[in-house]
């Protein structure tokens, strides 16, 4: 499909604005932003594949204006191009390598921007709980739903919502409060968020004729920071009558994220935390030099932190304000690396995409098993493996035969790590020499500041 010069100019202008270098990671954008799942729907999948193939060939044109035009249109087509435009081979012309690199870099910036912007939704009027969650999922691209064990009678309960272009967490919190739902942290897989009805709501849904105690509309102290939701879950205090130095008060907080993203870890420096009482007097932390760390587990949709403060006088009834700035490390776009016919590759053969380099380290026969070593490295500025590297073992890897059958490894072990590289040996019970290897990993790591303010925290 050919575009007029005017259509192309408009499309290109939109792409340039979308990938603006002035957009700050973690900074909230205008409410007019399109939800992530609604980007780049100009062409159907097959049309896009065909168009990318044509433009890829045009990058090798003898005409520089033709190459410029192809490069600009590839960027204008949007982030789905990354699925169909492989990095250039080292043997290709330098100009082609540079142009493909520029296209992928610009689109990878767009992916990072989408990853760190909160998605938005509009939920207005009467609807069932099930309909509200389905609409939220469709509008934001977040896999959120009731748990499978929830009775149908509950999902059909009617609620009334008034959310106009709100963030994901604003919309979800409205459903939670109106529909008497609570987040179930252990009922989800990676990329999912599951919810259960509260005990009182379940009782009312199953036995509507029974008297029910009035549901509490009071929510624990919480706030929204972009794609993150932070709330206080519990406050514990202890006074030691023998040794006052052991007095403490712990504020338990939980950090959740939009399930469409893949966080790796979260850290919160105590030095960034400030607390004041209802008289605006500062409340000190017991250790201002501590750094609280948390590693995300795929089956748990949240991270818990306990913030220790000094035990206050009983005249202090609440913490007026608790502020701080944490940092989340988020996996960006997942790239697929393919190594064809492993037996023909030299040890040390590598591929690079979006700042990640995957190196084939050869095959080693070990009794009845075949050990296949893969080294994953990142650009030094990403510091992807600086503190946490366990997420690397969750990367998908498999052998692929001529018919497309996937052969998964039966075991693995880490055999080496530096600041920016990690090497893992995977064991197969099939000789990989004549097969292809497919390895998938996040190729860009995004560091997102998470600023929060929790107010009116009651003290025991």
Q: Where are the domains of the chain?
A: 5-116, 120-206, 222-332+447-458, 334-442
Residue 297 has pLDDT above 90, yes or no: no
pLDDT at 354: 76
Banded pLDDT at 222 (limits 50, 70, 90) = very high
CATH number at 334-442: 2.60.40
Mean pLDDT, residues 414-428 taken together:
91
Question: 3-class secondary structure for the chain?
Answer: CCCCHHHHHHHHHHHHHHCCCCCCCCCCCCCCCCCHHHCCCCCCHHHHHHHHHHHHHHCCCCCHHHHHHHHHHHHHCCHHHHHCCCCCCCCCCHHHHHHHHHHHHHHHHHHHHHHHCCCEEEEEEEEEHHHHHHHHHHHHCCEEEECCCCCHHHHCCEEEEEEEEEEHHHHHHHHHHHHCEEEECCCCCCCEEEEEECHHHHHHHHCCCCCCCCCCCCCCCEEEECCEEEEEEEEEEECCCCCHHHCEEEEEEEEEECCCCEEEEEEEEHHHCEEEECCCCEECECCCCCEEEEECCCCCCCEEEEEEECCCCCCCCEEEEEEEEEEEEEECCEEEEEECCHHHCCCCCEEEECCEEEEEEEEEEECCEEEEEEEEEECHHHCCCCCCCHHHHHCCEEEECCCCCEECCCEEEEEEECCCEEEEEEEECCCCCCCEEEEEEECCEEEEEEEEEEEEEECC
* 166-196 pLDDT per residue, tens: 999 999 999 999 888 899 988 778 789 999 9
Quick one: fold of 120-206? Phage tail protein beta-alpha-beta fold (3.55.50)
CATH number at 222-332+447-458: 2.60.40
Mean pLDDT, residues 209-231 taken together:
77
* 84-111 pLDDT per residue, tens: 888 887 788 999 989 998 898 888 888 8
Check if 222-332+447-458 and 334-442 are the same fold. Answer: yes
Global pTM reads 0.73
pLDDT at 119: 93
Mean pLDDT, residues 285-295 taken together:
88
pLDDT at 37: 41
């Amino acid at each position: 499909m050919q575009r007029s010069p005017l259509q192309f100019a408009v499309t290109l202008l939109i792409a340039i604005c979308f990938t603006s270098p002035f957009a700050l990671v973690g900074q909230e954008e205008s409410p007019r932003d399109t939800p992530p799942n609604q980007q780049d729907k100009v062409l159907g999948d097959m049309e896009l594949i065909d168009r990318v193939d044509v433009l890829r060939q045009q990058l090798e044109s003898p005409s520089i204006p033709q190459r410029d035009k192809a490069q600009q249109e590839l960027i204008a087509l949007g982030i789905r191009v990354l699925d169909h435009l492989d990095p250039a081979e080292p043997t290709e012309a330098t100009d082609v390598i540079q142009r493909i690199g520029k296209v992928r870099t610009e689109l990878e910036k767009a992916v990072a921007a989408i990853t760190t912007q909160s998605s938005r939704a509009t939920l207005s009027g009467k609807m069932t709980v099930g309909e509200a969650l389905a609409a939220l999922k469709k509008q934001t691209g977040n896999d959120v739903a009731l748990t499978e064990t929830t009775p149908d009678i509950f999902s059909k309960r009617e609620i009334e919502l008034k959310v106009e272009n709100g963030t994901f967490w604003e919309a979800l919190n409205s459903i939670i409060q109106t529909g008497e739902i609570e987040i179930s942290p252990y009922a989800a897989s990676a990329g999912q968020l599951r919810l259960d009805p509260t005990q009182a709501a379940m009782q009312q849904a199953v036995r509507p004729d029974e008297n029910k105690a009035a549901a509490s509309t009071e929510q624990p102290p919480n706030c929204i920071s972009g794609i993150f939701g932070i709330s206080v879950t519990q406050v514990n205090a202890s006074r030691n009558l023998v040794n006052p130095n052991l007095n403490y008060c712990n504020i338990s907080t939980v950090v959740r994220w939009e399930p469409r993203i893949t966080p790796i870890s979260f850290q919160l420096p105590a030095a960034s935390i400030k607390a004041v009482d209802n008289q605006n007097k500062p409340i000190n932390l017991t250790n201002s030099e501590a750094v609280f760390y948390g590693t995300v587990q795929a089956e748990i949709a949240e991270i818990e932190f306990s913030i220790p403060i000094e035990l206050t006088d009983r005249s202090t009834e609440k913490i007026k304000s608790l502020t701080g700035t944490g940092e989340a490390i988020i996996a960006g776009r997942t790239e697929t690396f393919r190594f064809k016919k492993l037996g023909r590759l030299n040890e040390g053969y590598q591929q690079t995409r979006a700042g990640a380099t995957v190196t084939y380290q050869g095959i080693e026969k070990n009794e009845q098993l075949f050990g296949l070593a893969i080294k994953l490295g990142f650009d030094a500025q990403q510091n992807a493996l600086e503190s946490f590297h366990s997420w690397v073992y969750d990367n998908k890897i498999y052998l692929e035969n001529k018919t497309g059958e996937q052969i998964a490894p039966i075991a693995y072990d880490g055999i080496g790590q530096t600041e920016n590289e990690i090497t893992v040996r995977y064991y197969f019970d099939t000789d990989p020499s004549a097969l292809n290897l497919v390895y998938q990993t996040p190729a860009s790591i995004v560091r997102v500041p998470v600023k929060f303010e929790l107010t009116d925290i009651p003290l025991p």
